[in-house]
Amino acid sequence: MIRRKLDQIIEGYLMQKKAVLLFGARQVGKTTLLNSFSKRMGLKTIFLNGDEPDIKALLSDYSSQKLRMIFGNSKLVVIDEAQNIGEIGTLLKVIVDYIPEIQVIASGSSSFELANRASEPLTGRKFEFVLYPLSFSEMVEHHGFVNEYSLLENRMIYGYYPEIVSECGKEEKRLKSLAGSYLYKDLLMLEQIKRPKLIDKILRALALQVGNEVSYHEIGQLVGADSITVEKYIDYMEQAFIVFRLPALSRNVRNEIKKGKKIYFFDNGIRNAVLGNFLPLNSRSDLGALWENFLISERKKFLNNEDIQANSFFWRTTQQQEIDYIEERNGDLYAYEFKWSDGKNHKFSETFTKNYNVKSAEVVNRENFYSFIHKEINL
């Protein structure tokens, strides 16, 4: 069994008289993770699935006395797909306030639904975590660096969803299924999503623009929608853990792009499934985009899995000077350029290095990328 990094972190926050909220896309392994540490800690656990009508009905009319009867002598209560429970925020508040001997964990694939419903009632009463697809680092711990490095091309093409990693064969068919019904399910349940086909068009446009600055107006022209609708749909996609935004850094230089953004996919496999492109790396024209998406998504997983606070950006000027990725930690800036080849002759923009207090500027390639995606310090 592949142990998740977040497993260890969440364990340290249990039994502190607060609810634990676990977010993450469907099929990233939330239920498996919760089962794992409940067994390891030896806690009597009750699992309740908010997708089931009888569970929704059971938890819709409650009191602390009724909840005690439902939970029995369980010490850990897990409510999966908790966004489907109507008054989930108030329900969790009652458990925290009136049954403090029980640890409750609510998990959901819809952060906009669960977070919105639980936020106000649980003010000061919750810890929040996000589970992403498996990471390179987690797989290194599972079966060693040499084995995982040998699968690098496979991971860049098919990604890190647990089902794809653990079930070899038929990756393309499995990914197409994941990129369809599973990931879209929460989006399609929203009343604001009135044009399901528009989701596919926008995702395809985003997949083709990985590594490039994104314009809502330009995407709107491509897909036949106004920029406000495009931005709204992308916001929902981000909250469903399909894509994430990387903002532009703009503080010192007059001709910097000030409100720019790039958009990446949390998983390379999903991005490739959206495009229907599973060709090997040596046959692809988008190798640079795949490498960039892989590295930035892996770095995002690492920061999350290690509970490290950092701000992430890209940088670009109107004169086309650009830096792929910048990370701000404890007030220091670390700049990175991504090259599939060695990139030894790459020179960082003097406009950037002279106008910012840059702690280090490094090129990340196939030889040294593990340091970038696995360590808190610079290369």
Residue 378's pLDDT band (cuts 50, 70, 90): very low
Q: Does the pLDDT of residue 111 top 70, yes or no?
A: no
Query: What is the pLDDT averaged over residues 132-161?
Result: 95
Q: Is the pTM of this model over 0.85?
A: yes
Query: What is the pLDDT averaged over residues 49-69?
Result: 87
Q: In what order do the strands lie in the sheet with 332-338?
A: 311-316, 322-329, 332-338, 358-364
Please calculate the CA angle 186-106-241 and round it to the nearest 5 degrees: 35
Higher pLDDT, 377 or 339: 339
Q: Does the pLDDT of residue 183 top 80, yes or no?
A: no
Q: Does the pLDDT of residue 285 top 90, yes or no?
A: yes
Q: Is 108 helix (H, G, I), strand (E, B) or coil?
A: strand
Query: What is the pLDDT averaged over residues 357-379?
Result: 83
Instruction: Specify the range with the lowest mean pLDDT, choosing from 47-51, 121-125, 240-244.
Output: 121-125
Mean pLDDT of all residues belonging to the chain: 88
Q: Does the pLDDT of residue 82 top 70, yes or no?
A: yes
Higher pLDDT, 174 or 294: 294
Query: What is the pLDDT averaged over residues 252-262?
Result: 75
Instruction: Specify the range with the lowest mean pLDDT, choosing from 3-7, 38-42, 273-277, 285-289.
Output: 38-42
pLDDT of 350 reads 85
pLDDT of 190 reads 61
- Which residue intervals of 152-278 are DSSP H helices? 152-158, 162-166, 171-177, 183-188, 196-208, 216-223, 227-239, 268-275
- Highest mean pLDDT out of 106-120, 176-190, 196-210: 196-210
Nearest to 296 by CA among 260, 339, 325, 333: 325
Dmax over Cα atoms in the chain, in whole Å? 69
Domains of the chain: 5-130 (3.40.50.300), 136-196+231-374 (no CATH)
Query: What is the pLDDT averaged over residues 330-353?
Result: 87
pLDDT of 11 reads 85
Query: What is the pLDDT averaged over residues 255-277?
Result: 89
Q: Give the span between the Cα atoms of 36 and 14, in whole angstroms.
A: 14
Distances (CA, A) of 263 to 125, 238, 242: 32, 9, 10
According to DSSP, the β-strands at 311-316 and 19-23 are unpaired
Amino acid 283 reads S
